[in-house]
Amino acid sequence: MKTKFSVVLTLLLVFAVQISFAQQKTVSGTVTEDSGLPLPGATILNQGTSKGVTTDFDGKYSISVSEGATLVISYVGMESQSISIGTSSIYNVTLIKDVSTLDEVILVGYGSTSKAKVTGSISTISSETIGQVPIGSFDQILQGQAPGVQVFSGSGQPGAPARVRIRGNGSINGSSAPIYIVDGIQITAGDFASLNANDFETVSVLKDAASTASYGSRGANGVILISTKKGNYNQKTAFTYKTQYGITEVGNAPFAMMSSREILEFQRTVNSGAGAGLSDEEITELATTNTNWKDVFFRTGITQSHEVEISGGDDDSRFFSSLSYFDQDGIAERSNLQRFTIRTNYENKVNSKTKFGINTSLGFSKSNFISSENAIALQNPFAAAYLAQPYQSLYDDEGNIQTGPGFTGGNSYEELIKNGNNNQQVKIIAQGFFETELMKNIVFRTDLGIDYSQDNFIDFSGPNTYYGGIVTPGGEGDYGESNNYNSRLTATTKLGYSNVFNEKHSVDVSLFSEYYKQNFRSSGFRGYGINPLLNGYANGTTAGTPENELIPTIFGGKTVRGLFAAFAIANYDYDSKYGFSASLRRDASSKFSDKNQWGTFYSVAGRWNISNEEFMSDVSFVNNLKLRASYGTSGNQASVADFAAETRYGQISYGGVNGIGVASIGNPDLKWETSVQSNIGLDFDLFDYKLSGTLEFYDNKTIDLFIDYSLSLTSGFSSLQSNAGSMRNSGVELDLNYTVINTENFSLDLYGNFNYNKNEILDLGQVSEFESGTSIIREGLSLGSHYVVGWAGVNPANGEPLYYDLDGNVTNVFSDGNATANWGSSNPEYTGGYGLRGTLGNFDFSTLFTFADEYYRFNNQSFFQENANFSQFNLSTVMNTMWTQPGDVTEVQSYLFPRQFSSKDIEDASFTKWRNLTVGYTLPSKFASKTNFFQSFRVYAQVQNLKTWTNFTGFDPEDDNNIAGYEYPMPTIYTVGLNIKF
Amino acid sequence: MKNIFKFLFLVGILFTSCEDAYNVAPDDEILEANAITSVADLEKAALGVYGFISGSNLINYSSRFTDDLRLPADNRGQGVQVHTWNITAGNGTTTSLWSSLYNVISRANRVLNVIDGISANTPEEELSKSRIKAECIGLRAMCHFDLLRAFAESYEDSNSVLGVPNINSVVVFEQPSRNTVAENYAFINSDIEMAMGMLDASFTDNTRLTTTALSALKARVALYQGQYETAISSATDVIGAVALATTTEYVDIWTDASDAEVIFKLKRTTGDGAVGTIFQDTNGDIFFFMSDSMLNHVFDNSTGANDPRFGTMLDLPNSSFEEPVVGKYLGTDANPGLNDIKIFRGSELYLIRAEAYARSGQFEMAAADMTTLRAARGAAETTSYSSEEIALFDIIEIERRLELGYEGHRYFDMRRQGLTISRSETDCEAAAGACSLPSDDFKWIMPIPQAELFANENMTQNTGY
């Protein structure tokens, strides 16, 4: 009501005040949003001068200008407006939201451009989406945020990285992981535990050759470009405090294990294990103990974070600083992540032609891990939770943990709480640049940066623990430590020319050189014979002698590798209607032999901004329509071993004396794996910007695949890394945003992104197929196709397992030769995310769902817990349905027949996950301002991983590999948070 | 004008090639070009060849395949496939046997490939060079013979029987076909002769190949080949040089405290694979017990309290009649199961010579050797034979099984003699029905690995697989 009144009043004033003439006069007014709310903090700049003011909390401003001057009124996220000062002294301005995003700045390889001028395929993720999510590793936050970006998290260990794939797996034996560039510096993929994602301003995902070709030999699997927050020029220094507090909990665990009575009776049936030969009374007696091992191993953890951001700027400089602390417990005992980060970004304009900047981040993290994570090993608590016997209790009568052979649960629990496995990491990312206009239209820029990380891994077992007691040599525990030092140096130099001819032809051409070098050094040791008083420390180890045989081992290594590149990027635009881009790059890698050292990569791309054509001016429902296409190549050299071209010798010891022996045969013909990529995309904004989106089609063909060429074993080697064959990833991506309603009190946006990716192996060179673990790599199939014998059920007459032979006939003979590939792939074909976000009064809310379909996984766990041979461990309740007498119709064979891997173990792991739900409340600014203490105040609550819908029977259908083997599942995280801006 | 210079200067910087980015020195790598350039390097490379020898995989296969071991019910899969003869071309144990033997051969060939080009600067170096060459050639012969024993269709010295590929040079992309067994014998014997001609008898390190070890190898090959005169003469050479262990020394052989009668052994130190893990895990979990058949054999045929083999075959303190634990490779407290792997012991040469005598009709000579050997193990009686059949039964099925138990001979001896495996009821209780394997079963011959057939078009599989 009050707002309406003020609008009316303002209108009256506009009409009433027509007088006053003066050369220099004071102009005032109110700046409002299109919803009518006053807009505090908007900038009013007298164009052509450095004079400017900002609006107060009621959106009011007052500035002294001369008549005829132009005022530019701007605010982040709004379209700027210019007003000419006439005779009036009151100018009220309504800024409209910049929904067109026409001026949105998009990070592209080695620069940035406006969204309208982008020719390649790039998805952008804003800081609002990635900030404030209580997840320790940044890549996991990308889940469901952009089409064609598959993020599969393999571990719920706080800070654990995810498997990220852009448009499918581009390589069979090489790496398919994208590269990460922070402020121009390549950083280690999958190493984000010591980085604070809240420092990130925007993230661009470069997906096609046009956008990645400028990264040459590193870009084939896509590039994730990150720009950190920089502060703003002419902004009063602002302090922001952010905090979050909450809990982590084990999510749904859909499997059911047997009770004490069930397993003991089962053991009696199969005559193996503790229950063998027991009477009913004895079983009843033993079954009085019924330990729920899930409760023993899992806990409710605490998660919390505190962060202070300071940013600001004056006419010539701007800065952003942050200090953060993050602490998260895992849902398994012992596992956690603690992290400190400090960032300072500073940029200075020396004069109108020259500027420089420094971006630095220092992170320190400390992680404690569970033992044997993701391993099918009894130390792994996620295996022990399944396999420990419920008729055993954790503690004996004296309160000691029961350990020893056969005490699966006690041994594993003791390992968790008494032994250790941790890492401390220091990570420094520092980058500086210098840019100057050498002469008109010519810019010189140089960037220099380093990503340095240092890891200190420690694991130990005490002499008085079960697992410490079986360490060899000695049986008295061990202590191991390894240290890694990893530095990556990137130096890029650019000479750019840009000009506009006849106001319509805009041209820019840049020449670059880039120098990249990685130095990696590691060293470590493992000592034995631990003094129980010094368990967990290096000086608790025994000095080794030939007599006590407790000789410590020492290991280490050093790796240097590098790239040098020279490349050019050119862009041409005609009247914002047509655009053309091209790039050409020559790259030299230290990994290949002299003759294959240099590779050449290129791209061409074009766009047509249809909506800017005259004939579109009448089509009112189209705000923006752009068609673009690109074609080009990019290379892959990651995962090629250093000096793979050379035959290398290694240290081979005999009788404790070092010798040498050939360790690997070199292939001097090894060269880049090349991805040939085509992309067609349509960007659109329709119905007054209500419906926006992108539709893209792509076809990526990887040629010269890294394939292991099989050698006759008589050569002393089994294979040689070589280039052969080809593989295709083709697909569709759709990104949509629909604004249902956008009013003062209620706004609602629906969004979604979707990817269909079809992978096909086209050619494998020497052979047409080869087996790879439990999957088959075969021409015509997709990568990750499971390869097992078909399961045909259990013969009700005798409990015998039945299988399918190659002709589809049912047989009782199990033969590896009958394996088929009819069981789907571990790489999903359909992935994406969708959700909604909006505001209701001062409340805001958002939610996200992600999904994967046509996704099959090998459940290796069921081989253990649905297997009568493993009855010395606990079994799944499924085993209660085991065949026992003729006529039983069941899927569980009699224990008299061996259990084989079959299609029974392949499960449909397709899932939909309710990934995030956030509800927030922002104190109205007029209340906030009244406190005279803070500018804004927001409180919110959120939940991560609320629920999973799947048919998969393990803990978590989502994983970063094809086989489920007692992984650390993703936790459910509940937090409440507070953002205060002072 | 000034700007132009500035411009050109910067262009210069821009395109100054930073070669050190991509021409990186191999800091902690040894590339082939500079791996072996001196006699000292040759010494290292020779050690490397020894380092590739597994040694335990023949013991493993022989013990688990035959009737010497019993599978306990709580075995969790270790060695079950071999024990139950569930062997296919993809079997990991046979594949690694094939590949690890050719690994050694290829490393030896790589040393031999460069050795003539390395100049020796002193007479000592000349001697070393010649010794290293002899060792590599000798090891090449030994590995080819082990391959023949495992993968050849039979041991008959014939050109109509398929053996294994003879590899006498560095190969990478070659796809060699199988040589005949006769060609294998010829190649092996020629290597042995060549090595003997280059090796000085003063070199007596029993963790390396010596002239005595080469003679022992020659005798063993000749026995398989049916060249009994050679077997006798070579065995006699060794017997003359190596005395049998006394009963107390015998016990110490298995803790590596004594080297008595150990002609050639593979030295094992902390960090090496523990041969004892064929039988039990380092945490004490039993993978296999001694079979009842072997237990009875030991009880029936050893001389009881006097016989040191009683307490070495069995880990007496930890054994019961129901659960007899194999005691030959117990290692130390710090390194359970870690022992040197004995390839040739003096007693085997007595057994070779006795068998060769018996097969050539000299029963008295055969019996005399057996008497000598048994006396050394504490027996008072003398042995005598009345027929070849009786002699061979006594030498091979009684004494070799006892004396060389768990040393990698049983499987080959049974193959040579065409014996049938028939496990007792108790021994095959947990063996999933693998109770009997007739002598004509194709599984007696190991399959050529699937990986080899896949990569090598000229390879042929053994019958049955």
| SS3 call for A679 | strand
Distance CA B414, CA B419 (A): 5
Interface list for B 305-364 with A (CB within 8 A): 332-336
- Residue A53 domain-assigned (yes or no): yes
pLDDT tens, A213-271?
777 677 889 999 999 999 888 888 989 999 999 999 987 677 789 999 999 999 998 88
The answer to whether the CB atoms of A712 and B175 lie below 8 A apart is: yes
Q: Is the pLDDT of residue A300 over 50?
A: yes
In the prediction, which pLDDT does A780 show? 93
The answer to whether the CB atoms of A564 and B13 lie below 8 A apart is: no
Interface list for B 198-227 with A (CB within 8 A): 207
In the prediction, which pLDDT does B85 show? 92
Residue B427 contacts residue B291 (beta carbons within 8 Å):
yes
| SS3 call for A865 | helix
- Residue A787 domain-assigned (yes or no): no
Residue B141 contacts residue B134 (beta carbons within 8 Å):
no
Identity at B248, one-letter amino acid code: T
Q: What integer is the mean pLDDT of A326-341?
A: 94
Q: What integer is the mean pLDDT of A901-906?
A: 92
The answer to whether the CB atoms of A473 and B52 lie below 8 A apart is: no
To the nearest whole Å, the CA of B298 is away from the closest chain A CA by 30
Half-sphere exposure of A367 (CA within 13 A, CB side): 24
Interface list for B 433-462 with A (CB within 8 A): 449, 451-452, 454-456, 459
Domain count, chain A: 1
Q: Please name the member of B48, B90, B105 whose beta carbon is closest to the beta carbon of A660.
A: B48
Q: Does B35 touch chain A (CB under 8 A)?
A: yes
Identity at A160, one-letter amino acid code: A
Q: Does B13 touch chain A (CB under 8 A)?
A: yes
Q: Please name the member of A470, A551, A767 whose beta carbon is closest to the beta carbon of B270.
A: A551
Closest CA to A975 of A949, A935, A945: A945
Q: Is the pLDDT of residue A5 over 50?
A: no
In terms of DSSP H, where are the helices of B199-305? 211-225, 228-241, 247-253, 292-301
CB pairs A-B closer than 8 Å: 218
Distance CA A779, CA A172 (A): 12
Q: Report, in angstroms and rounded to the nearest whole number, the Rg of chain A calculated over CA atoms.
A: 32
- Please count the other Cβ atoms lying within 10 Å of the Cβ belonging to residue B102: 26
The CA-to-CA distance between both ends of chain B, in Å, stands at: 83
Arithmetic mean of pLDDT over chain A: 88
Q: Please name the member of B31, B175, B284 whose beta carbon is closest to the beta carbon of A646.
A: B31
- Residue A54 domain-assigned (yes or no): yes
In the prediction, which pLDDT does A4 show? 45
- Residue A803 domain-assigned (yes or no): no
pLDDT category at A1 given cuts 50, 70, 90 is very low
Q: What angle do CA B250, B407, A713 make, to 5 degrees?
A: 145
Closest CA to A689 of A618, A752, A735, A740: A740
ipTM: 0.93
Q: Please name the member of A475, A561, A660 whose beta carbon is closest to the beta carbon of B24.
A: A561
Q: Is A83 exposed, middle or buried (0-12, 13-18, 19+ CB in 10 A)?
A: middle
In the prediction, which pLDDT does B12 show? 56
Question: A218 to chain B: which residues are within 8 Å by CB?
Answer: none
pTM of the model: 0.83
**Cα dihedral B258→B260→B261→B263 (10° resolution):** 60
Q: Report, in angstroms and rounded to the nearest whole number, the Rg of chain B calculated over CA atoms.
A: 26
Q: Please name the member of B23, B48, B451 whose beta carbon is closest to the beta carbon of A590.
A: B23
In the prediction, which pLDDT does A104 show? 64
Q: What integer is the mean pLDDT of A15-42?
A: 67
- The domain of A14 spans 2-95
Three-state secondary structure of A748-761? EEEEEEEEEEEEEE
Residue B390 is encoded by which pair of tokens? 């009786």
- Residue A190 domain-assigned (yes or no): no
In the prediction, which pLDDT does B2 show? 58
Q: Is the pLDDT of residue A17 over 50?
A: no
Q: Which of B19, B22, B275 to mutate to test the interface with A (most CBs of A within 10 A)?
A: B22
In terms of DSSP H, where are the helices of B175-210? 181-198
- Residue A36 domain-assigned (yes or no): yes
Question: B271 to chain A: which residues are within 8 Å by CB?
Answer: 551, 553, 653
Q: Looking at residue A159, what DSSP letter applies? A: T
pLDDT tens, A803-831?
999 999 999 988 777 889 999 999 999 99
pLDDT tens, A752-797?
999 999 999 999 887 888 877 788 899 999 999 999 999 999 999 9
Q: What integer is the mean pLDDT of A69-85?
A: 80
To the nearest whole Å, the CA of A439 is away from the closest chain B CA by 7
To the nearest whole Å, the CA of A679 is away from the closest chain B CA by 32
The answer to whether the CB atoms of B334 and A550 lie below 8 A apart is: yes
Identity at A813, one-letter amino acid code: V
Distance CA B290, CA B314 (A): 8
Distance CA A34, CA A433 (A): 39
Closest CA to A74 of A314, A237, A235, A240: A235
- Residue A27 domain-assigned (yes or no): yes
Q: Please name the member of B10, B17, B335 whose beta carbon is closest to the beta carbon of A444.
A: B10
Residue B187 is encoded by which pair of tokens? 């190649």
Distance CA B457, CA B174 (A): 10
Q: Does B386 touch chain A (CB under 8 A)?
A: no
To the nearest whole Å, the CA of A382 is away from the closest chain B CA by 20
CATH number at residue A61: 2.60.40.10
Q: Which of A563, A637, A709, A712 to mutate to test the interface with B (most CBs of B within 10 A)?
A: A712
Q: Please name the member of A473, A495, A665 whose beta carbon is closest to the beta carbon of B14.
A: A495
Q: Cis omega (within 30 of 0) on the bond before B308?
A: no
pLDDT tens, A225-241?
999 999 888 888 989 99
pLDDT category at A101 given cuts 50, 70, 90 is very low
Burial profile A380-417: b = 16 or more Cβ within 10 angstroms, e = fewer: bbbbbbbbbbbbbbbeeeeeebbbeeebbbbbbbbbbe
pLDDT category at A547 given cuts 50, 70, 90 is confident
Q: Which of B4, B11, B102, B270 to mutate to test the interface with A (most CBs of A within 10 A)?
A: B270
Residue by residue, pLDDT tens for chain B (465 residues) are: 556 666 656 555 555 557 788 888 877 888 988 899 999 999 999 999 999 999 899 999 999 999 999 998 777 778 888 998 988 888 889 999 999 999 999 999 999 999 999 999 999 999 999 999 999 999 999 999 999 999 999 999 999 999 999 999 999 999 999 999 999 999 999 999 999 999 999 999 999 999 999 999 999 999 999 999 999 999 999 999 999 999 999 999 999 999 999 999 999 998 899 999 999 988 788 999 999 999 999 999 888 778 899 889 999 999 999 999 999 999 988 889 999 999 999 999 999 999 999 999 999 999 999 999 999 998 888 999 999 999 999 999 999 999 999 999 999 999 999 999 999 999 988 787 789 999 999 999 999 998 899 889 999 999 988
Q: Is the pLDDT of residue A9 over 50?
A: no
Q: How far is CA B390 from CA B121, B365, B376, in A?
A: 58, 14, 22
Question: B449 to chain A: which residues are within 8 Å by CB?
Answer: 713
pLDDT tens, A615-662?
988 888 999 999 999 999 988 887 788 888 889 999 999 998 999 999
Q: Is the pLDDT of residue A103 over 70?
A: no
Q: Is the pLDDT of residue A974 over 70?
A: yes
Say which residue the tokens 């091992």 belong to: A293
- Residue A882 domain-assigned (yes or no): no
Could you give all domains of chain B from N- to C-terminal order, each with its CATH number? 36-200+434-465 (1.25.40.390)
To the nearest whole Å, the CA of A412 is away from the closest chain B CA by 15
Q: Does B86 touch chain A (CB under 8 A)?
A: no
Residue B281 is encoded by which pair of tokens? 């895990």
